Structures are given as structure tokens and as C-alpha cells.
Amino acid sequence: MNQPYLFPIPPNEVERPTDFFVIPPPQAYEEPEREFTFGRVLLHVLLFGITVVTTTFYGGLLLGGFFDGLLFSFTVLMILGAHEFGHYFAARYYGVQATLPFFIPSPLPMGTFGAVIKIKSRIPTKQALFDIGIAGPLAGFVFAIPAAIIGLYYAVPAGALPATDDTMTFNDPLLFLALSKVLHVPHDLILNPITFAAWLGCLVTSLNLLPVGQLDGGHVIYAVFGRRAHWLIARAIYVGVILLALASYFYNGWMGWVLYIVILTVLLRVGHPPVNNEDEPLDMTRKIVALIGLIVFLLCFMPVPISM
């Protein structure tokens, strides 16, 4: 007699356990980070407002009055703002996250250390790196040229005013020397607010175009020549600035380059972040723009900005 099965189906036909999936517990929804918040915008506005105050104060102190200080502040912040928004809009064009400009007030004469933006995402290509790097100096230079023309045209010749033993001389960049020839103005002039702002704009432009680290010039050199050449050129420029600091100190006692050596030292230690495609070549148009950037640097650079 057949033994009845104790299972509803024969043992050799018992179904194997089917595969199963573990459903993870639901995670809390994270809202994407907002680019503009009230707190962030307030910080930008606050820093800008403080920089307006410091540049107006020191401009007036150096140039002779509140109105002169206000005119200096307006002109120099226009040049610095054009520089940083050049970077900002170029970054936005390539989809690179970047902050609005942070204007940096200074308790030292001139009233500002300039302005910066913070890149918050990786720059994807050498073309994007080049365009973002060069856009700032070119934009600032475009605004510095009319300021220099207006300032030089209305400047008072230095010979019309008595000189004193403690006179501070702001040495001219090549741009000022060339414009003075074109406008037929004397070489030695008393700084007015607009000339002073254009002079400071040239100084900031030239310092940013030094090919070191993540300065604008560093971005350009990295995009044009690559990582290895950027490393070598940056260190050569660093040594050159040290020698220039020694020469300027023994020549007229000016110590301004020492501060910049400290900044360059930090930039060298930080280095330059890579891009996705290190072997990507730049097109001829951008190489021509790089030469234009070199010309802008030469027009703005001053080996000894101030003589004591």
C-alpha cells in the first residue's frame, strides 16, 4: 500500500525558496543646497559695505577729503568687481559652482585686500579652466583703462606742488607711461582718486596674473602648458619674487613684496587641482588670448610699486 505523503506535494517537487530583496528603510529627503540664501547674500553685502567704508576712509585720508575718498572707493571697487564677476560669469557659463565675490576690507592704507570668489565644484576641462582664469584679469583691465585715461587727463602736474622729504611716490606701470605719451601729460603727476584707483587696479591685475598656484596666471599656465610646466614655472616665479623683494628693500626700503611672498608660499603648498582631461590641447584662439594676457601683465606690472 502506498504511503500517503505528509506534504501537499511530493518531496522531490518541494519548491525551493525564491529569491528575495531587502528593501532599505526610507531615508530622509535632503533638499539640494541652495546657491543663494539670505545669510550668504547678507555676508556678501556686509563685506562689500565694510570695504566701501574702509576704501572711502583711506582714500580720503591719502587724497585729501571725503569726496575724493568716495570717488576712489567707487572706481576701485568697480574695477575689482569687474574682475571677480568676470570669473563668476565664466564659471556659470561652464556649469561650475562658484560664490558671488567676497570683497575683503583692509585696516591698512588703500582700504582693501581685493576680492575673491570661491570655486565650489571641479573645473571639468582645460578650456573651462583657461576661460575662467583669464576672464577676471581681462574684465578688470577693460575697466581700468578708461579710469586711467580719465585720471591721467585731469591729474595735476607734480611740479605745481611743493615736494617734502616724506613724499611717497607711486611708480607708474607701462600702461600709465603709454597713456601719458598719447595724452601728452607730464610724467610726474599728483594722484587724484581715479588715477589712484586705476593704479591699484593695475597692481591687483598684475599680481593675480603671476603664474603661481591657483592665481589667475596659475590657471592660465596650467591650461596652456600642463601640470609639470605649471609646477616648474611657479617655483621659478617664486624665487624671482624673493629676489625682487630683496632688491626693492635695499633699493628704497619698500617691504611690500614680503607680504606677497607669504601668500605665494601658501599657494605653492596648496598646489593646483587637476582637470578631468590633462592631455586636452587648447585651440589657437585661446593661445592668442593667453598672449594678450601676457601683454596685460607687462602693461600692469611694477617691479617697485612704491618708492619711499
Residues in the chain: 308
Residue with cell 540664501: 37
pLDDT digits (tens, 9 = 90+) for 43-94: 999 999 999 999 999 988 888 889 999 999 999 999 999 999 999 999 999 9
pLDDT digits (tens, 9 = 90+) for 262-275: 989 988 888 888 88
Please indicate, yes or no, if residue 10 is contained in any of the structural domains. Answer: no
Q: How far is CA 1 from CA 4, 10, 12, in A?
A: 9, 16, 20
pLDDT of residue 233: 94
Please indicate, yes or no, if residue 70 is contained in any of the structural domains. Answer: yes
Please indicate, yes or no, if residue 2 is contained in any of the structural domains. Answer: no
DSSP string, 106-152: -SSTTSEEEEE--B-S----HHHHHHHHHHHHHHHHHHHHHHHHHHH
Q: Give residue 144's domain range.
A: 40-307
Please indicate, yes or no, if residue 191 is contained in any of the structural domains. Answer: yes
Please indicate, yes or no, if residue 33 is contained in any of the structural domains. Answer: no
Q: Which ranges of the chain does DSSP label H, i.e. alpha helix?
A: 38-63, 66-93, 126-153, 174-183, 193-208, 216-225, 227-252, 256-270, 284-300
pLDDT of residue 110: 84
Average pLDDT taken over every residue of the chain:
85
Element holding 306 (H helix, E strand):
strand 306-307
Please indicate, yes or no, if residue 87 is contained in any of the structural domains. Answer: yes
Let me know: does 282 contact 126? Beta carbons within 8 Å.
Answer: yes
pTM over 0.85: no
pLDDT of residue 1: 47
pLDDT of residue 7: 45
pLDDT of residue 72: 95
Let me know: does 100 contact 88? Beta carbons within 8 Å.
Answer: yes
Estimate the crossing angle of helix 66-93 against helix 38-63, to 10 degrees.
Answer: 140
Count of domains forming the chain: 1
Burial 67-99 (b: 16+ CB within 10 A, else e): ebbbbbbbbbbbbbbbbbbbbbebbeebebebb
pLDDT of residue 258: 86
Cα(113)–Cα(304) distance, rounded to whole angstroms? 18
Please indicate, yes or no, if residue 220 is contained in any of the structural domains. Answer: yes
Element holding 192 (H helix, E strand):
none
Cα(292)–Cα(283) distance, rounded to whole angstroms? 15
Please indicate, yes or no, if residue 196 is contained in any of the structural domains. Answer: yes
- pLDDT less than 50: residues of the chain: 1-7, 9, 29
